[in-house]
Structure 1
Amino acid sequence: MRRMLAVLALVASSFVVTSAASAASCANVKVVVDFTSFGGGVQTACTTVDPSSGIVALQNVKFVVGYVPRQPGFVCTINALPNPCNGAPTTAYWSYWHGTPGGTWTYSSSGAGSYNPAPGTVEGWSFGAGTAPSTTP
């Protein structure tokens, strides 16, 4: 009986540690990238450090960013989509959004390279004509 209680206590303590680690994984900034325009899904990841910009947040969670040629800082591709870079016309580009968990999206009035997201917030990216990501923050 004691042995069984000891095993149950060990399992319970492992569960608590795992749960705490999972909850802490989004303590900084959550990044949401909506690939549905390309027939893909929505990918989310959480930074492990407080990023200094929206671009750094994307890169911290291993998304690869490409820029519009001759327009440094203007995101043209994320993970090589669209391929090739379409020059980001007003009809189809990577729009940049901010949110709070469970809240709504707000279109960014700042560029991703100059915006410093606060810990606990959500950064969103969606390809199209300026439509918000298809999930809640």
Structure 2
Amino acid sequence: MRVVSTRTRRGRRRLAGLVAGTSLVAGLAVAVPAAPAEAAWACSGVTVVVDFTAFGGGVQKKCDTAHPTTGLKALQDVGYTLTGTQRYGLAFVCRINNKPSKAQDPCVVTPPANAYWSYWKAPHKGAWSYSSQGAGSSVPTPGTVEGWAFGAGTAPSIKAP
């Protein structure tokens, strides 16, 4: 006959209870709600998308209902601070909200081809296309999307809202 201490018996009961509880939970079908779908984006003006992913930030989208006269104006209307180059001003957007930092690019002449703010356009929920015009001469129309992404000329990392 084997003698089992009280401590061991309690431990076995506790373990048996845990196993039974685990089996019970494993046997239940638990309904987990699906992730909510992205809310429908409604903008009666021009949607402005700025992709800060290269700086560890996310993608921001804002609505300009003021009917901007240029792509630069749309960016400024929704609250972004712009810095152009010393040589060409805002003909080359060097920084949006101080990204990249002054240490990363002093913004003297045009930014390098692998690290610049590229300018994109899209119809509502359409595909991005690299803008053939500069943001200072492009005239956005209500219902369109203006996109900005930092890097080597890649489009914003989200679909146009």
What's the TM-score, normalizing by structure 2? 0.68
**Pairwise CA distance, 1:48:** 1.8
Partners in 2 of 1:106 and 1:48 — Cα distance?
A: 22
Stretch moving more, 66-75 or 34-43: 66-75
Mapped pair 1:99 → 2:122: yes
State the match for 1:8 in structure 2. none
SS for the counterpart of 1:31 is strand
Partners in 2 of 1:109 and 1:103 — Cα distance?
A: 17
SS for the counterpart of 2:146 is strand
State the match for 1:79 in structure 2. 97
State the match for 1:64 in structure 2. 81
Q: 1:110 corresponds to which letter in structure 2?
A: Q
Provide the alpha-carbon RMSD of the alignment.
1.2
Mapped pair 1:129 → 2:156: no
Which runs of 5 or more structure 2 residues have no equivalent in the other structure? 1-40
Q: 1:48 corresponds to which letter in structure 2?
A: T
State the match for 1:52 in structure 2. 69
State the match for 1:7 in structure 2. none
Partners in 1 of 2:128 and 2:86 — Cα distance?
A: 28
State the match for 1:111 in structure 2. 134
The structure that has the greater radius of gyration is 2
SS for the counterpart of 1:74 is strand
Q: 1:117 corresponds to which letter in structure 2?
A: P
Larger helix proportion, structure 1 or 2? Answer: 1
4+ aligned runs moved over 3 Å, structure 1? none
Q: 2:85 corresponds to which letter in structure 1?
A: V
Q: 1:116 corresponds to which letter in structure 2?
A: V
**Pairwise CA distance, 1:123:** 0.2
What's the TM-score, normalizing by structure 1? 0.80
State the match for 2:7 in structure 1. none
